[in-house]
Amino acid sequence: MGFDFKEISPYDRPKAAKTTNAKKGDVMTNDAQANQLPHVVVIGAGFAGLAVASALASSPVRVTLIDRRNYHLFQPLLYQVATAALSPAQIAQPVRSIVRRQKNCTVALGEVVGIDAVHKTVRGHAGEIGYDYLVVATGAAHAYFGRDDWAAVAPGLKTIDDATHIRRRVLHAFEQAETTEDENLRRALMTFVVVGAGPTGVEMAGAIAELARHTLRGEFRHVDPAAARIILAEAGPRVLVAFPEKLSNRAHRDLEKIGVEVMTGKGVSDCSAEHVVMDGETIPCRTIVWAAGVKASPAADWLGAAADRAGRAQVAPDYSLPAQGDVFVVGDTAALTDAKGRIVPGLAPAAVQAGKYVGRVIHARVTGAAPPAPFVYRDDGTMATIGRGKAIALIRGFGFGGFIAWWMWGVIHIMPLVGFRNRVVVAIDWFWSYLTHARGARLITAPKDKGADL
Amino acid sequence: MGFDFKEISPYDRPKAAKTTNAKKGDVMTNDAQANQLPHVVVIGAGFAGLAVASALASSPVRVTLIDRRNYHLFQPLLYQVATAALSPAQIAQPVRSIVRRQKNCTVALGEVVGIDAVHKTVRGHAGEIGYDYLVVATGAAHAYFGRDDWAAVAPGLKTIDDATHIRRRVLHAFEQAETTEDENLRRALMTFVVVGAGPTGVEMAGAIAELARHTLRGEFRHVDPAAARIILAEAGPRVLVAFPEKLSNRAHRDLEKIGVEVMTGKGVSDCSAEHVVMDGETIPCRTIVWAAGVKASPAADWLGAAADRAGRAQVAPDYSLPAQGDVFVVGDTAALTDAKGRIVPGLAPAAVQAGKYVGRVIHARVTGAAPPAPFVYRDDGTMATIGRGKAIALIRGFGFGGFIAWWMWGVIHIMPLVGFRNRVVVAIDWFWSYLTHARGARLITAPKDKGADL
């Protein structure tokens, strides 16, 4: 980006610059007053970062919200972009538009490369910005457990670009299968391997199965897309291990019903452009989707903070760093066991709760009020979707599956979408897909020089 | 693509390959019968190509429809993608899905690089395919009138990639203007020049003006997007020259009302990454959109056919090539004056009419029926939209503008969208934009290595 953070915030500008226009007198006074206020810099406009910023809307602070993308992404639905059901814009909303009414919040587009905790500055590619309080909410990326060379052949699913990349690979595989004469190649092209049976892996496998068995039916003349093999590989003993065994088993059966081969207890020992090796067995395939693990963004490194095995910073009960009380780490970048002894999970609701909490902590610090009680994660329930009409849910110890769970999953995932229009349009898209199996975003788009990436 | 066209069509496969599976006996007989049928190869799945293919649905022919993209694009709404109002998938539909029920039609994804009219074959990157009848409907590209070096700094608007590229540039310009300290640079970033005041140029200029004046209002803290300069440069004497002068003038006034500076009679003599030169005047700017001219795809070259100045093949009154009666050129790639002496315009309705006509011509040839009468273009009216509530229309000599023209424009442009869902969703998007000025697709998406293209 070549971004100069010095230029981002009005608060860091030399005062001289403010005297150039006499007509702006009143505003200048306000600006000058505003400049006295503590500066809260939030890195990352995901669920946690946005929650912090909006929790500070009425606080006597200036907020600068930095992200390297111009949009907030509703990550729980990203797999629907990867499988051509939704368009990127339907699950992404410009950050500026979300905070447009919050006058104490400035948005900066740029990438952070480091943090200087001594001088209290955030470094961008070509400059830096000072802070009084810093909130790091930079999320997580894929973890290949030391095999980073697999990233090229087994893309993960964290960004819009990841999703359109996977969409392109999956759709291209069917196109190539339609045209090849080589039976072995065709079989490899029609084999899709999803590694990792957490919620993302289960959703991806289920959605690829539906794409093959229903959406593409009747569209090819030489191959039957329904003959595609969709393999869900899981090193652990069962799918969706965060759920009770009974629900896991139900999800397992549901996956098999919609045509996914579930292989539990099978560790992946090699990935290449032509095959995956599981438990000694080599399976020729051309599309691998990685959903086996995440590691936190390098924020703990930047901060010199203690981190757990997944790279998440160890934080105090109020999400501050033990050694740097004016720095907070929140969301998927932080590791915390809450006041009730439960590990805060890497889920969107937890990130929102933690973000709001950190907002309250900072508000208390700047106003001198009593700090809030230590953070307690409120588990409103977790759910995972498997496919059309199939999901499992666990709400306050009550587990159930089937159509009702799926319907609830849909409502719960549509409601938080930013913007009324997106809610309506996504609901229509889903309802239409449900009726017809059609998927509305089956575009193979790529810059021309990228056309040969398969 | 590295596509082997030999592999595309079942009809070109060696017969031996068909005897490998005894169970397929019945199908083989049908296949064998089908293989006797004349093979019609259609290159290009735009309006003209799709119309040819679907007009042959009940004819005793085999159709192979080749396109280098997997989707049909509704080009008239492409500017809405470029200005963040619609998502790419809302104006694009997979070709396979459009022709899925037409069993005599095979779709092939691949790029054509040449035609061998002597051996009646189409050449792809790595192979070829034979034809009995060939229809070339490969459309048009931008024309820079000998200054192809301008293409990099003044992108045109023909493909989804063009549209997302322009969207990225426009949105990035505001982001950069927000963060720079350099007043001259800021002014240049906030200057948008659209070259060419045909329908596309007028639509682009109007939509950028709305984006700046309404959509982005209140979202920036250091610049006022409404202060952006949007310049529409036209070398000719007036905008929308295809319309009567009175309507042109109305469009001119409407453009000025929504904040577009219309500069007619100003030829562009230079474009660079930092400025545009018009009529001797240098205007610093960072975003130029090229809407000044098109040239046909190189089909006439491939065919060794006579072409007009814009590269369009000169065709006989039935759209065949005078020297090669089994080759047809149709749509924006062809130049024809119809039986009533009118030049067939480069518009979607004309392409559809001509495509259907060519389908009838080929049907008559293969069935031995009498050929249809020479083609006559039916002008159902033309319209151009300027902005929210503003458009002009000319229908059977009756010209009018304003809200009714705009509303008609909307209905006429929603109805042909392929797929009921797209119609509903685009209608909702538009209605919502009309009420709120919001634009739903304001994403700056780019592959990482492309992030610095500005």
User: Which residues, at least 6 apart from B281, have a Cβ–Cβ distance to it below 8 Å?
Assistant: none
Specify the range with the lowest mean pLDDT, choosing from A223-232, A258-267, B28-37.
B28-37
Distance CA(A192)–CA(A196), nearest Å, equals 13
Angle of helix A47-55 relative to helix A348-367, nearest 10 degrees? 30
Provide, as residue numbers in chain B, all residues whose Cβ is less than 8 Å from the Cβ of A110.
Answer: 179
Q: Are B57 and B340 in contact (CB under 8 A)?
A: no
Q: Are B56 and B104 in contact (CB under 8 A)?
A: yes
Closest by CA to B104, choosing from B54, B32, B48, is B54
Burial B50-75 (b: 16+ CB within 10 A, else e): bbbbbbbeebebbbbbbbbbbbbbbb
Positions of E strands within A25-77: 39-43, 62-67, 71-73
Q: Closest approach of chain A CAs to the CA of B386, in angstroms?
A: 24
Question: Cβ of B445 and A88 within 8 Å?
Answer: yes
What's the token pair of residue A17?
A: 């610059």
Average pLDDT over residues A243-255: 96
pLDDT at B413: 82
Q: Closest approach of chain B CAs to the CA of A324, in angstroms?
A: 29
Q: With 70 as the cut, is the pLDDT of residue A68 above it?
A: yes
Q: With 90 as the cut, is the pLDDT of residue B265 above it?
A: yes
Q: With 60 as the cut, is the pLDDT of residue B15 above it?
A: no
| Residue A453 confidence class, pLDDT cut points 50, 70, 90 | very low
How many C-beta atoms surround the C-beta of residue B194 within 10 A? 30
Q: Closest approach of chain A CAs to the CA of B201, in angstroms?
A: 23
Question: Exposed, middle or buried: residue B398 (CB in 10 Å: 0-12, 13-18, 19+)?
Answer: exposed
For an interface test with A, the pick among B11, B83, B95, B96 (most A C-beta atoms closer than 10 Å) comes out as B96
Which of the two residues, A432 and A43, has the higher pLDDT score? Answer: A43
Q: Are B359 and B54 in contact (CB under 8 A)?
A: yes
Burial A327-365 (b: 16+ CB within 10 A, else e): bbbbbbbbbbebeeeeebebbbbbbbbbbbbbbbbbbeb
Classify the phi-psi angles of A198: left when phi > 0, otherwise alpha if psi is within -120 to 50, otherwise beta: beta
Q: Are B363 and B327 in contact (CB under 8 A)?
A: no
Residue A117 sits at φ, ψ, to 5 deg, of -70, -20
DSSP state of A8: T
Provide, as residue numbers in chain A, all residues whose Cβ is less than 8 Å from the Cβ of B218.
Answer: 100-101
Domain B5-68+110-142+295-367 matching CATH 3.50.50.60: the answer reads yes
Task: For chains A and B, count residue pairs whose Cβ atoms are closer than 8 Å.
Answer: 154
Which of the two residues, B215 and B17, has the higher pLDDT score? Answer: B215
pLDDT at B446: 60
pLDDT above 90: percentage of residues in chain B: 63
Q: Provide the mean pLDDT of chain B.
A: 86
Q: Provide the mean pLDDT of chain A.
A: 86
Q: Token match 């996977």: residue?
A: A166
Provide, as residue numbers in chain B, all residues whose Cβ is less than 8 Å from the Cβ of A96.
Answer: 216, 219-220
What three-state secondary structure class fits B210?
helix
Which of the two residues, A122 and A26, has the higher pLDDT score? Answer: A122
Which residue of B107, B421, B448 is in closest CB contact with A429?
Answer: B421
Nearest chain A residue to B85 by CA distance is: A89
Q: Strand pairing of B133-136 and B287-290?
A: unpaired
Distance CA(B199)–CA(A224), nearest Å, equals 43
Distance CA(B180)–CA(B75), nearest Å, equals 35
Q: Spell out the alpha helix ranges (H) of A283-419.
A: 299-303, 348-367, 402-414
Q: Are A83 and A165 in contact (CB under 8 A)?
A: no
Q: With 90 as the cut, is the pLDDT of residue B436 above it?
A: no
Name the architecture of domain A148-292+382-450: 3-Layer(bba) Sandwich (3.50)
CA angle A24, A25, A28 (to 5 degrees): 85
Question: Cβ of A419 and B429 within 8 Å?
Answer: no
Question: Exposed, middle or buried: residue B264 (CB in 10 Å: 0-12, 13-18, 19+)?
Answer: middle
What three-state secondary structure class fits B438?
coil
Q: Which of A128, A203, A210, A234 is catalytic?
A: A203
Q: What is the DSSP string of B66-135?
A: EESSSEEE-GGGHHHHHTTSS-GGGGEEEHHHHTTT-TTEEEEE--EEEEETTTTEEEESS-EEE-SEEE
**Total number of residues shown for chain A:** 454
Q: Strand pairing of A229-234 and A191-195?
A: parallel
What's the token pair of residue B263?
A: 């500069």
Maximum separation of any 2 CA atoms in chain B, in Å = 77
Question: Exposed, middle or buried: residue B109 (CB in 10 Å: 0-12, 13-18, 19+)?
Answer: buried
Beta bridge partners, A397, equal none
What's the token pair of residue B159?
A: 């493909």
Question: Exposed, middle or buried: residue B167 (CB in 10 Å: 0-12, 13-18, 19+)?
Answer: buried
Distance CA(A315)–CA(A329), nearest Å, equals 7
| Residue B300 confidence class, pLDDT cut points 50, 70, 90 | confident
Domain with CATH 3.50.50.100 in chain A: 148-292+382-450
Provide, as residue numbers in chain B, all residues whose Cβ is less than 8 Å from the Cβ of A222.
Answer: 10
pLDDT above 70: percentage of residues in chain B: 89
Distance CA(B24)–CA(B19), nearest Å, equals 8
Helix (H) or strand (E) holding B401: strand B398-401
- Predicted TM-score (pTM) of the model is 0.85
Question: Cβ of B179 and A108 within 8 Å?
Answer: yes
Residue A385 sits at φ, ψ, to 5 deg, of -105, 145
pLDDT at A168: 93
| Residue A300 confidence class, pLDDT cut points 50, 70, 90 | confident
How many C-beta atoms surround the C-beta of residue A146 within 10 A? 7
Average pLDDT over residues A211-240: 93
Q: With 90 as the cut, is the pLDDT of residue B452 above it?
A: no
| Residue A244 confidence class, pLDDT cut points 50, 70, 90 | very high
Question: Cβ of B89 and A438 within 8 Å?
Answer: no
Closest by CA to B357, choosing from B43, B46, B104, B54, is B54
Distance CA(B65)–CA(B63), nearest Å, equals 6
Q: Are A289 and A173 in contact (CB under 8 A)?
A: no
- Tell me the catalytic residues of B: 203
**Total number of residues shown for chain B:** 454
Question: Exposed, middle or buried: residue A222 (CB in 10 Å: 0-12, 13-18, 19+)?
Answer: middle
Q: What is the ipTM of this complex?
A: 0.82
Provide, as residue numbers in chain B, all residues whose Cβ is less than 8 Å from the Cβ of A64.
Answer: none
Q: Strand pairing of B313-314 and B334-335?
A: parallel
Which residue of B160, B175, B179 is in closest CB contact with A70?
Answer: B175
Average pLDDT over residues B416-436: 73
Q: Are A387 and A206 in contact (CB under 8 A)?
A: yes
Question: Cβ of A447 and B444 within 8 Å?
Answer: no
Distance CA(A92)–CA(A164), nearest Å, equals 13
Classify the phi-psi angles of A58: left when phi > 0, otherwise alpha if psi is within -120 to 50, otherwise beta: alpha
For an interface test with A, the pick among B62, B65, B221 (most A C-beta atoms closer than 10 Å) comes out as B221
Question: Cβ of B450 and A448 within 8 Å?
Answer: no
pLDDT at A191: 97
Provide, as residue numbers in chain B, all residues whose Cβ is less than 8 Å from the Cβ of A13.
Answer: 181
Domain with CATH 3.50.50.60 in chain B: 5-68+110-142+295-367
| Residue B438 confidence class, pLDDT cut points 50, 70, 90 | confident
Nearest chain B residue to A165 by CA distance is: B447
Provide, as residue numbers in chain B, all residues whose Cβ is less than 8 Å from the Cβ of A429.
Answer: 421, 425
Question: Cβ of B17 and A181 within 8 Å?
Answer: yes
Question: Cβ of B161 and A448 within 8 Å?
Answer: yes
pLDDT digits (tens, 9 = 90+) for A151-207: 999 999 999 999 999 999 999 999 999 988 899 999 999 999 999 999 999 999 999
Average pLDDT over residues A284-308: 90
Q: Closest approach of chain B CAs to the CA of A235, in angstroms?
A: 31
pLDDT at A286: 96
Q: Strand pairing of A260-264 and A268-271?
A: unpaired
Question: Exposed, middle or buried: residue A241 (CB in 10 Å: 0-12, 13-18, 19+)?
Answer: middle
DSSP state of B12: G
Distance CA(B62)–CA(B133), nearest Å, equals 10
Q: With 70 as the cut, is the pLDDT of residue A17 above it?
A: no
pLDDT digits (tens, 9 = 90+) for B162-207: 999 999 999 999 999 998 889 999 999 999 999 999 999 999 999 9
Q: Are A293 and A196 in contact (CB under 8 A)?
A: yes
Average pLDDT over residues A295-321: 90
Q: Closest approach of chain B CAs to the CA of A104, in angstroms?
A: 10
Q: Are B135 and B328 in contact (CB under 8 A)?
A: yes
Question: Cβ of B97 and A219 within 8 Å?
Answer: yes
For an interface test with B, the pick among A425, A428, A431, A454 (most B C-beta atoms closer than 10 Å) comes out as A425
Question: Cβ of A443 and B89 within 8 Å?
Answer: yes
pLDDT at B351: 95
Inter-CA distances, A290 with A143, A212, A382, Å: 9, 19, 22
| Residue A273 confidence class, pLDDT cut points 50, 70, 90 | very high
Closest by CA to A446, choosing from B77, B441, B44, B164, is B164
Which residue of A160, A171, A451 is in closest CB contact with B445?
Answer: A160
What's the token pair of residue A138?
A: 């930079």
